[in-house]
Amino acid sequence: MIEKLHIQFEAMNSLRTIHVYLPPFYHESQERYPVIYMYDGHNLFHDENATYGYSWHMEEFLDQYDKPFIVVGIECPHEGNQRLEEYCPYDVENSFLGTIHGYGQLFMDFVVEVVKPYIDNHYRTIPFRECTMIGGSSMGGLMSLYTIIAYNQYFSKAACLSSSIGICMDALTNEMNQHDLNVDTRVYLSWGSEESRNKRGLAYASMHNLEISHLLNQKHIMTYPYLQVNGRHSEQSWQQQIPIFMDYLWKSK
């Protein structure tokens, strides 16, 4: 079951639409549930809400999965360049994307200071970081990686799919050096073999993800770097990875 609500993002003077998945029989039980927060929430559940007409179909997966969760999909702004700015923690000059004045840190303060307390107060969650995950794809994947590094006191798991880490690799590396991470942290990093325009692009994506994995491993953080053969930069490819990152982040020891 999906519920939709709106929460005011005061710093940007705008509303954020939140798509909340509740497990079957939620209203018939008193059970509390771990929570998965995800970016681009409109792309997660229903095709009619998805940007390109195809969603991750995550509701169907979770309804059949053997472990119940609450999923909080935070919808991005759709006007102009705002999604890029909201899902980037730094100011970036990029030859392809142009100038990005990132306010990702401001957005994440909103997530942990406003959205998460609202969810914990209005739904039967298990609010501890050990039972809280962050996830996203593309710029949302970049934000998921930034979140697990800079806001590790709130999140213990991250699914970072097709992450746009190449646009700010140096800043991410510096960010990682500034934070001590809990050793129970787990990070799933993926990229698709067909996402890049050529072999050079694939080599860069592989290099960046493996470098991030190595840096996290040096901090004693477990990672799962995954090259999706024939994977593209699309909801269809990310949907196929749901059972992989869910099993890794929530079941593996």
**3-state DSSP call for residue 243?**
helix
For the CA atoms of the chain, what is the radius of gyration?
A: 17
The total number of structural domains in the chain stands at: 1
Taking the CA atoms of residue 109, residue 120, residue 137 and residue 166 in that order, the dihedral angle to the nearest 10 degrees is: 30
**3-state DSSP call for residue 71?**
strand
DSSP state of 41: G
Please list the rounded mean pLDDT of every run of 10 residues in the chain (253 residues).
Answer: 95 95 95 97 94 94 96 92 92 74 94 98 97 97 97 98 93 92 96 91 94 95 97 96 98 81
**3-state DSSP call for residue 164?**
coil
Domain range for 24: 2-250
Q: 164-200 pLDDT, tens per residue? A: 998 999 999 999 999 999 999 999 999 999 998 889 9
Q: 24-39 pLDDT, tens per residue? A: 999 999 999 999 999 9
The answer to whether the CB of 134 falls within 8 A of the CB of 157 is: yes
**pLDDT of 94:** 67
Could you tell me whether strands 157-161 and 186-192 are parallel, antiparallel, or unpaired per DSSP bridges?
A: parallel
DSSP state of 195: S
- What CATH code is carried by the domain that includes residue 163? 3.40.50.1820
The answer to whether the CB of 143 falls within 8 A of the CB of 89 is: yes
Spatial separation of the C-alpha atoms in residues 93 and 100, rounded to whole Å = 6
